[in-house]
Structure 1
Amino acid sequence: MPTAVIDSKGTEIYYIDSGAVPGSDNYTTLVIYHGSAFTGETFHKLLPLGAKDNVRVVSVNRKDYAGSTKYTDAELEDLNAGKHVFMERVAVDVANFLIWFADKFNVPAASADGKTGGFAVMGWSLGNATPTSLFAYPEAVTKERYAKLEPYVRQLILYDPPHLTYGYPQPPEGYNPFTDPAFKNPQEVFDNFRYWVSGYYNHAGLPTRKVLELDFTPRGARPSVDNMTPAEYAKNFDGLAAARTEFPMFFPMQPALNEMGQRAFFDEDLVKSVLPRTEVAWQVCENTNWYCAFGFVEAERQYKENVAKGKKVRPIKFQEIKGANHFVHWDAPEDFWAATAKIINGKL
């Protein structure tokens, strides 16, 4: 079971890796951070797909998930108190892992034109907060780490983030699986969550960007978890880690996450000084749950509003994946890979 020891405290990060692209000296390394409850193992179907597009695929388990170091009681206290310092530590862990991986495997740096090599760093779902943190906390990450990362980090890919990732206010009309009174404890909540989050929904309001026309129903069609064998589900789902670390992200951490997103994407000073060459792409799935559909609509609205004001924001490209739900990387990995390779290879 491969793990990276990323700091002097012995912090370990579990990962799966397709390996270097044979015969290539300019491949891009895609590093994926999973979402809530579902682990990095859900991306294993992508590992054999990257080489044909000159991409090495790496998927990590975030801290507290199977194989990676658990958070300390003090760190969990900061998380439950909604403190910014929790996300600052996350940013440092991301930086340390990327630096470790680049050094350990001598991965190709980004080319001078920014089209090949380097890292494309991806988040999925609420896990997008993890790589985004790298762009929001320069004091914590430090100039020394950024100097090591600058030759490598060329893309940030935001795969279907929900509105909670960046602390956007929730429309009151929307179904909330985390406050549904029918479910009495974390185990019941996450059992309901796995079906809700992995269903297929029809959003009339996504093409028109009308929030009130999104599909707010509490259960979608054909949930992707039904496409997992018991053995696959055991690897793909870590309810214990989710119960310990995800509930605070949904509630007390929301103000901190909102500030993090604003800093990473719209703070003119940080856009100019923190990995300024990094390209950002936001992927939304046409049939995703409403959390992610609304996250896309609101992010695009804020982006256009900031651009219209003449602010020098971090450029973001938006990509809609047709016919896809929140688990398209599991249900239709070739389709998801085709969309992602288009971003990595500069064809979006």
Structure 2
Amino acid sequence: MPLASVDQHGSQYCFEDTGPAQSSDYTTLVLVHGACFQAAIFERLFVHAAAHNMRLVAVNMRDYRGSTPYSASELADLSSADVARQTAAIRARGLELLTFILWLIRTEGIPPLSPASSGNSKGGGGIALLGWSWGNKITLSCVAQASHLSPDDVETLGRHMRTLILFDPSPRAFGAPASSLEESYNPLNDASLSPEAKQRVFPDWVSGYYSHSLDGFPSLHRDELLAGFARDPIANPPPHQSATLHRISSDEFARIINADVVARSHLFYELVDGKVYADNTRVALRSTSIWPNIRVVLVWCDMSVSETVLPAWGLLRQVQEDWPTNGRAIHSVRLKGANHFPHWERPKRTMQLFDDLIRSQRIPEDVEMQGTEPVYSKL
């Protein structure tokens, strides 16, 4: 896997790259993985990229396999109880991702945005950025740090940045307080489990299918939402709804999972003050002062763990009740029948969805994921 430097200290990202599509106006989608997983979790999408005139670049974040581990001082900042040090740590992660995207543009000659060629298209070229689960904390920091770049870097990115996809975001990605275990169970917050036990149970918990009661979402009050959550996955599920990670080979498991990072560094992200993430969300989403034309799409999976449904609800309630007039428009897409892994379970249709979200003028509100082909409604 290739490497790219992402700061002045020589830190590097390891990444997977499908390479340029066979055109001069292909679109590049940069993919940021979630906690415990790594770039290979997106590998089933790769074979479908060329059919959509897209280049996929999946990055291993710092401390994940092949990328530079955190230094002792970086871990000290991330694990500190001092909010200023936490802020500096999360800001550094966002700046690293910005540096990587600039490196891609300048080293790989990524095509800039180009005009639409038809009435139902947003044109070709450019870069879309997708954070999945925990990865949203990094992508939101990335967009939020843009004002710290030089004018030349801001302009360069402005010629390329087209879409931000918030894909089934993890708990507290937008800065909400942590929920209690009784409200929404998350083994990472379970004090009765050791770090090693959390590392062991996390994959099975996160990849199940949950039958939540979500009628009226997102207009439900918080207590109504919590009452409708299923704590446990579907009992005696049909084969296609058993936990995703129970249906993969040992070779695949070894390729997509980097479990030791959970105890080593990831748990510190769960302890960061919510204000740090809320500030990034405010700067990245509630203002259009930089890159005003970026499209923002929240994609949430309605059979995912409750801990991803909750932040999606929280953001959409903000949009309904307290969104500034100059804030970014937030498009919302519900993946019906999808757990936390549609990109692994349904890669062909998920790739089609990403293409539509990035380049189509029309954004679906609901997408049925259990059939043979995607069925869009409420266009």
Normalising by structure 1, we get a TM-score of: 0.92
Q: How many residues align?
A: 340
Residue 188 in structure 1 maps to residue 187 in structure 2: no
Q: CA deviation at 1:179?
A: 3.1
Deviations 1:254-312 (A, max 9, x none): 3211221122111x3xx22x2222111110012111011111111101012234xx521
Q: CA deviation at 1:51?
A: 1.3
Q: 1:70 to 1:154 in 2, by over 3 A?
A: same
| SS of residue in 2 equivalent to 1:122 | strand
Rounded to whole Å, the distance in 2 between the matches of 1:15 and 1:300 is 32
Residue 108 in structure 1 maps to residue 104 in structure 2: no
Deviations 1:209-237 (A, max 9, x none): 33124324144561111122111111111
Contact kept, 8 Å, 1:203 with 1:213, in 2: the verdict is: no
Rounded to whole Å, the distance in 2 between the matches of 1:68 and 1:214 is 40
Residue 289 in structure 1 maps to residue 305 in structure 2: yes
Rounded to whole Å, the distance in 1 between the matches of 2:253 and 2:307 is 23
Residue 335 in structure 1 maps to residue 349 in structure 2: yes
Contact kept, 8 Å, 1:214 with 1:293, in 2: the verdict is: no
Q: 1:230 to 1:198 in 2, by over 3 A?
A: same
Contact kept, 8 Å, 2:299 with 2:332, in 1: the verdict is: yes
Contact kept, 8 Å, 2:210 with 2:232, in 1: the verdict is: no
RMSD between superposed Cα atoms in Å: 1.8
Q: Which residue of 1 aligns with 2:15?
A: 15
Q: CA deviation at 1:105?
A: 1.4
Single out whichever of 330-339 and 218-227 deviates more from structure 2: 218-227
Q: Which residue of 2 aligns with 1:118?
A: 126
Q: 1:242 to 1:140 in 2, by over 3 A?
A: farther
| SS of residue in 1 equivalent to 2:173 | helix
Q: Which residue of 1 aligns with 2:371?
A: none
Q: CA deviation at 1:182?
A: 4.7
Q: CA deviation at 1:162?
A: 2.3
Residue 322 in structure 1 maps to residue 336 in structure 2: yes
| SS of residue in 2 equivalent to 1:16 | strand
Contact kept, 8 Å, 1:4 with 1:12, in 2: the verdict is: yes
Q: Which residue of 1 aligns with 2:265?
A: 245
Rounded to whole Å, the distance in 2 between the matches of 1:52 and 1:297 is 33
The AA in structure 2 aligned to 1:237 is I
Q: 1:306 to 1:143 in 2, by over 3 A?
A: farther
Structural mapping, 1:1-348, within 5 Å = 1-22=1-22, 24-81=23-80, 82=83, 83-112=86-115, 115-172=123-180, 173-183=183-193, 185-205=194-214, 207-209=216-218, 210=220, 211-219=225-233, 222-266=242-286, 268=287, 271-272=288-289, 274-307=290-323, 311-346=325-360, 347-348=362-363
The AA in structure 2 aligned to 1:158 is L
Q: 1:57 to 1:177 in 2, by over 3 A?
A: same
More helix by share: 1
The AA in structure 1 aligned to 2:69 is K
Rounded to whole Å, the distance in 1 between the matches of 2:123 and 2:306 is 33
Q: 1:285 to 1:233 in 2, by over 3 A?
A: same
* Runs of 5+ unmatched residues, structure 2: 117-121, 364-379
| SS of residue in 2 equivalent to 1:92 | helix
Deviations 1:24-67 (A, max 9, x none): 11110000000000111110111111111111111010011001
Provide the identity percentage: 28
Q: CA deviation at 1:341?
A: 1.6
Contact kept, 8 Å, 1:126 with 1:162, in 2: the verdict is: yes
Rounded to whole Å, the distance in 2 between the matches of 1:100 and 1:30 is 14
Deviations 1:138-162 (A, max 9, x none): 4533434212211111111111002
Rounded to whole Å, the distance in 1 between the matches of 2:45 and 2:105 is 21
Rounded to whole Å, the distance in 2 between the matches of 1:36 and 1:103 is 29
Single out whichever of 210-219 and 274-283 deviates more from structure 2: 210-219
The AA in structure 2 aligned to 1:208 is F
Q: CA deviation at 1:5?
A: 2.3
